[in-house]
Structure 1
Amino acid sequence: MFGRMMNNYYYGKSGKGDFRKEDLPQNRRQLFRDTLKTRLSALCRINLLYMLIFLPAMLVIMFSFTNILSTTSNLMMVEQNDYAGFVEQVTQNEQEVTITEEQFNELKNADVNLGDMLDSTVFRMLLLLIPCIAITGPFTAGLSYITRNWARDEHAFIWTDFKDAVKANWKQSLVLSLITSVLPIAAYVGWRFYGQLAQNNMIMIVPQVLVVLVGMIWSISITYMHPLVVTYELKTKDVIRNGLLLGVARLPMSVAIRLLHCVPALIGGLLIWFWNPMIGMLILFAYYALIGFSISRFITASYTNAVFDKYINPRIEGAKVNQGIYKPEDDDDEEDEAVEGDTDN
């Protein structure tokens, strides 16, 4: 009953493509624009499905960022010797105020280290995000399969194909999400640890930079890994190896795609910091709840489809290339078939 209800809501069009052969896009930019226009409402629907698995991570980030803002504001009041502002700020955060002005002065004169307090908050956030991100892998495979098909003008039923892709690729995707969930805290701890050692020994800057570099390389390479999982039959080690190779080989575009995905979060962060924290977080939450995850994955799919057509598919016998894009040779093939049909008659 539940599956039938989901199908009724998430079914799209019939299995036919959205374009006739004579109306096919001439290039990938046109293909992206036309398929995005066609699938925009469907992207919103599948985003509602996908965001449910990301909801714990979103809540952890929101509460942690609120805590960071509160801690920063309170300590700034202490450094500025603004007792009234400190009390008002704590009251706004609905915390019980038990500190007297004498205690405030003692706190001001104590060794209050803003960096250590923020470090503790960030570490706790990254630790809580490990299970929240680790469980998203199989569902990312489902979304990657759907958006891959849509990005090359192939049909996919939202609910059934999403479910089948999760079932078929959950093991490999879970490994990828586990690594993705652990690397941020590992890179952060490594950066802090080697940073402290570098204060006494400058050579420690080298491993400090290497730790961050590993995290950055993984963050740009993961762009290719989930599409590789749902497109080719590869072992997990081969998925990781090919993802890393593509990430490094296409370094400028890999970085550009990753930065493009960060633009909404950057805008939301600016709204939170310079305008209104609550309204900024609500706007950012609404964006990702409505379409943020699916549009990001759709952009990734459009890009990786082009990369696979250039570097991988020509090496595979029988693999289709430039799906969804008009190719003059297709017209020649149709003419040859028509001539053969007339000869037979």
Structure 2
Amino acid sequence: MAGFFGFFDYTKPGPGVPEDLPPKSKFIVFFEVLARKFWKLCWLNILYFLVSLPILAILYFMIGSYLLPIIESVTKGVQSAKDVQTLQSFLMTALSLLLLSGFMVFGIGPTTAGFTYIVRNFAREEHAWVTSDFFEHLRKNIKEGFISFIVDILVIFVFSVSIRFYSYQSIKYPSVGIIKYFLIFTFLVYLMMHIYIYPMMVTYNLKVRHIYKNAFIFTILKLPHTIGMFLLMIGVWVIPFLLLFVTKFLLVLLLYPLIWVSILGLMQNFYTNYVFGIYLNPQKQEEQTENKSDDKHEDN
């Protein structure tokens, strides 16, 4: 006799999961995946940061050339030379980590492709080997990743020079300000396109020009949703930076190389998986729905 008069019989099948339960919201699933994959996301974040160090070093010196004059102007009122140096190094460290983590989220070449493949799979609740799949998809997308990175650097340079030029010109000629605001809006649209660029790169076999074309179409087509996602990512992105000024604890910035970029990547790919599922994979979704309904009919 199994168990004791039918009790405590662990070989007996349980009731299972009811079929009629409504699907969980993406919000709940996101936090479930984050909790389940937390340590893997930490390792992915660290791996991504370490492998990207050469690119991050180049970006650091490029960022520094823009940040240093701003930081020097901010610290002009400080009297003590020692305090000035301390404050400048503090601001340089904080702002550099903030901006470099932003580059890591929106794309820094082939390493972002490897990173995006892992978080995309986690967002789909599919398996991925963090280390081996990271390097495999870094290699697979090395050409597209480098082209995208070079395009990004050129676009950022052109827009930064153009916006600064028209900002100075608008002081003398206020009507020129229209061009400045148009350039700012165009640059923001280009930044928002990056929500789609790398997830598309690792999911579909497309040429770079088609990736950018589709990313632009998605950005315009889903503009309210894209703006909302962009603002949400910006809000989460700056949390460690804001915590620094609340707690005065510099080590909170270690969240960026340890976990924060992975959290942002997971958020991004939860959103892009949903969008691609509607517009690029409708047949797959219909097949899954049909299979589920067929299974239910067979059970009945």
Confirm or deny a common fold (TM above 0.5): yes
Q: Which has the larger radius of gyration?
A: 1
Residues 51 and 288 in structure 1, CA contact (< 8 A), matched pair in contact too: no
Deviation track 1:179-232 (CA, whole Å, cap 9, x = no partner) reads 223333322211110112222222321221222122111110111011111111
How far did residue 92 of structure 1 move? 5.1
Q: Find the aligned partners of 1:252 and 1:52 in 2 and give their Cα distance.
A: 35
Match of 2:124 among 133, 139, 152: 152
How far did residue 163 of structure 1 move? 1.5
Match of residue 16 from structure 1: none
How far did residue 297 of structure 1 move? 0.8
Residues 32 and 302 in structure 1, CA contact (< 8 A), matched pair in contact too: yes
Q: Does 1:168 align with 2:136?
A: no
Q: Find the aligned partners of 2:293 and 2:151 in 1 and give their Cα distance.
A: 48
Match of residue 155 from structure 2: 183
Q: Find the aligned partners of 2:235 and 2:116 in 1 and give their Cα distance.
A: 20
Give the secondary-structure state (helix, strand or coil) at the position aligned to 2:238. Answer: helix
Which runs of 5 or more structure 2 residues have no equivalent in the other structure? 1-16
Amino acid in the other structure paired with 1:167? R
1:314-329 to structure 2, matched below 5 A, reads 314=282, 317=283, 319-320=284-285, 329=290
Deviation track 1:207-264 (CA, whole Å, cap 9, x = no partner) reads 2122212211111011101111111111211110110111122122212222222235
Match of residue 235 from structure 1: 207
Q: Does 1:89 align with 2:83?
A: yes
Q: Find the aligned partners of 2:221 and 2:179 in 1 and give their Cα distance.
A: 23
Match of residue 60 from structure 2: 60
Match of residue 76 from structure 1: 77
Q: Find the aligned partners of 1:91 and 1:292 in 2 and give their Cα distance.
A: 29
Match of residue 225 from structure 1: 197
Give the secondary-structure state (helix, strand or coil) at the position aligned to 2:28. Answer: helix
Match of residue 15 from structure 1: none
Distance 1:206 1:330, change over 3 A: same
- Normalising by structure 1, we get a TM-score of 0.66
Distance 1:192 1:166, change over 3 A: same
Match of 1:283 among 241, 252, 273: 252
Q: Find the aligned partners of 1:164 and 1:225 in 2 and give their Cα distance.
A: 19
Amino acid in the other structure paired with 2:207? K
Distance 1:21 1:272, change over 3 A: same
Match of residue 104 from structure 1: none
Match of residue 276 from structure 2: 308
Match of 2:235 among 255, 259, 263: 263
Match of 1:50 among 45, 48, 51: 48
Residues 74 and 89 in structure 1, CA contact (< 8 A), matched pair in contact too: no
Q: Find the aligned partners of 1:220 and 1:322 in 2 and give their Cα distance.
A: 31
Q: Find the aligned partners of 1:182 and 1:155 in 2 and give their Cα distance.
A: 36
Amino acid in the other structure paired with 1:186? V
How far did residue 74 of structure 1 move? 4.1
Distance 1:75 1:225, change over 3 A: same
Deviation track 1:9-54 (CA, whole Å, cap 9, x = no partner) reads xxxxxxxxxxx99699534333323222221111111111001244
Q: Does 1:334 align with 2:298?
A: no
Match of residue 114 from structure 2: 142
Residues 194 and 207 in structure 1, CA contact (< 8 A), matched pair in contact too: yes
Deviation track 1:76-95 (CA, whole Å, cap 9, x = no partner) reads 24xxxxxxx24453475799
Give the secondary-structure state (helix, strand or coil) at the position aligned to 1:199. Answer: helix
Match of residue 34 from structure 2: 36
Measured on the aligned residues, the alpha-carbon RMSD in Å equals 3.8
Q: Find the aligned partners of 1:192 and 1:90 in 2 and give their Cα distance.
A: 27
